[in-house]
Amino acid sequence: MSFDNQVAIVTGAGGGLGSCHALELARRGARVVVNDLGSAVDGTGQSTSAAQSVVDEITAAGGTAVANCDSVATPAGGAAIVQTALDAFGRVDILINNAGILRDAAFKNMTPEQVDAVLAVHLQGAFNVTRAVWPVMREANYGRIVQTASGSGLFGNFGQANYGAAKMGLIGMMHVLAIEGARNNIAINAIAPIARTRMTETIMGEAGKALDPELVTPVVVYLSHPSCDRTAHIYSVGGGKVSRVFIGQTKGIENPELTAESVAAAIDEIDDTATFTIRGGLAGA
């Protein structure tokens, strides 16, 4: 799968998963905007070295890339990231929303500041960059977008109410944009990666040794390619395993005289997942 003449933006690409995605897309011919604020895991601080080091690695291997150090967390930053791509390469075909931070705490100890900071980078950050690139992709009648979700949002994880909420917000955003982007050949999908990165290495222990971030990138590459005909799909990926995660709706019950008591009596039937559908929007609900 080649990406000759295509341009990709990868946010949070100064290390970990983002750098792997940027390096592989560049190796396959894409021109890449490597965005990274250069902050610590909790989002504090700023440095240009992280993004530039990945750009240097790409160019040393014969690829083409430019660095960008704007923050995804503001509308101006999102616009500047996209403008960097347009100024350097004149187009944007691919957006990988990967930037993220952690502010973990048990919910009883979680502060509004910890919630706001995580939502600003993960959810608002993806919104800011996608909003800036959306008219570019609509004009070109083409686009591929990949959201970086998480099992913490899909399934839950202790101490990550803020992170999980932000990550599931990305899934809601994906479902809507898949519908709105279909007429302009814009596909948007999501991954829920399991990988050893700067954000996870302290909590993974020995298990992290088998979870190289490079084993997540092949799914991102496929979802970024013109041949990908999927949209609004979620893929769990890590350690070489890939599976689809989906939101299904059980057959349930119908009762025009529904009461709390009848719900209680039928709750096992309502919950029964033996028969389910995967919806493609609210139409027909």
**113-147 tens-digit pLDDT:** 999 999 999 999 999 999 999 999 999 999 999 99
Please state which CATH number belongs to domain 7-246: 3.40.50.720
pLDDT, residue 282, reads 82
pLDDT, residue 63, reads 98
Q: Is the pTM of this model over 0.85?
A: yes
For a pLDDT cut of 90, what percent of the chain falls above it? 87
pLDDT, residue 200, reads 52
7's tokens: 């341009």
Domains of the chain by residue range = 7-246, 248-285
Looking at every residue in the chain, the average pLDDT score rounds to 93
How large is the C-alpha radius of gyration of the chain?
20
Average pLDDT (159-178) is 98
Q: Are the C-beta atoms of residues 36 and 262 closer than 8 Å to each other?
A: no
Torsion of CA 219, 223, 226, 227, to 10 degrees: 60
Rounded to whole angstroms, how far apart are CA atoms 97 and 72? 9
Residue 55 pLDDT class (50, 70, 90 cuts): very high
The one-letter amino acid code at 238 reads G
Coil/strand/helix, residue 272: coil
Neighbours of 132 (CB within 10 A): 23
Longest Cα–Cα distance of the chain, Å, equals 70
Question: Is 163 one of the annotated active-site residues of the chain?
Answer: yes
Query: Residue 68 is inside which H or E element, if any?
Result: strand 64-68
Rounded to whole angstroms, how far apart are CA atoms 111 and 129? 26
